[in-house]
Amino acid sequence: MSLLHQIALSCIPGIGSILARNLISYCGSPEEVFVTKKGHLSKVPGIGPKTLELIRNHTAFERAERELCFIEKYKIQALFLTDNAYPKRLKNCFDAPVMLYFKGSADLNTGKVISIVGTRKSTEYGKDICRELLAGLKKHNPLIISGLAYGIDFLAHKEALKNSMSTIGIMAHGLDRIYPQQHRSIAEKMITDGGLLTEFMSGTVPDRENFPKRNRIIAGLADVTIVVEANIKGGALITADLANSYNRDVFAYPGRINDEYSSGCNHLIKTNRANLITKLADLEYILGWTGSQTQSATNQQLSLAIDLSAEEKIIADVLLNKGSIIVDELAILTGFPQSKLAAHILGMEMKGVLIGMPGKVYKLA
């Protein structure tokens, strides 16, 4: 599949994530989008005369060629929605970006991914919580996601690196710049042990409207979003709402009722949009991360001694081999339709063989 056509599709004005998905689904590939007759394209939901003309506008290819030169020069990984390396958790979100640009070393599909967000004007209370949280998470070795902004974001990245955990900053601009500039040194460290990720091409500046788009990636990449400290109108609450819309777990640390920078967290908890967290054990209990995080192959084989059907054994064998796996990938590897797979998963959960985790991830009990 042509990377030039993939990038070009993302360059067309007015074609967002959802419409691009529709076009690819209808035409079969990005290349076909550009050669399919107008009469056929007009049948795609959301495509009007103006968009049809834009698809035929070859300036998209000119822009894509410049971007291709940029990513090749700076060794940036371009990830299209259908690529195997595209983050699977994000792919499950209805508005996932068609293109992602990544510079770093982290595995975007690693077993545990946590987003940590909060106010840019963090207090000592919030800073202490963040340090304690990251130190405790070290034993689980998750990938830490945040937005490289001032305050809680910066501290989450800093403490993740301090505790030898990979961390990725999600950018609201292209990878030809760092914003804020003061965070360049930590961003460079993150590229070595984590990375920088964006949906925006080089030359894109950090305009205000880009940050809510950035926040959906922060929410969609992770199993769980943790709000450490936030104002009721802060961007952290937008991220929390997005995580809820993706059916992901959200946690929030409570604060004093008259504290401006805890008002957002208190509101999330009060409105049942976030689980209350006061210590790491709260998160471990709700996510099922309690107890030993490793299990011997012998014990796993013993757990499979329960009477399983032939198809359930196929599922169990995949889980035994993979450890933990997102449901979409499980469907591909087993060859079962989603409806049949869902029924088997429910039955195996009731037998105590299988455990469901955030982000539609499953593993053996």
- The tens digit of pLDDT for each residue in 208-235 reads 999 999 999 999 999 999 999 999 988 9
**Which domains, ranges and CATH numbers included, belong to the chain?**
3-73 (1.10.150), 113-287 (3.40.50.450), 297-364 (1.10.10.10)
Mean pLDDT of all residues in 32-36: 89
Mean pLDDT of all residues in 64-87: 95
Any idea how long the chain is? 365
**Mean pLDDT over each residue of the chain, to the nearest integer:** 90
pLDDT of 291 over the 60 cut? no
What is the per-residue burial (b if ≥16 Cβ within 10 Å, else e) of 268-296? bbeeebbbebeebeebbebbebeeeeeee
* Span 99-108, pLDDT tens digits: 999 999 999 9
pTM of the model: 0.82
Q: Which band of pLDDT confidence, cut at 50, 70 and 90, is reported for residue 58?
A: low
Q: Which residues contact 115 (CB under 8 A, 6 or more apart)?
A: 144, 145, 146, 218, 219, 221, 222, 224, 225, 226, 239, 243
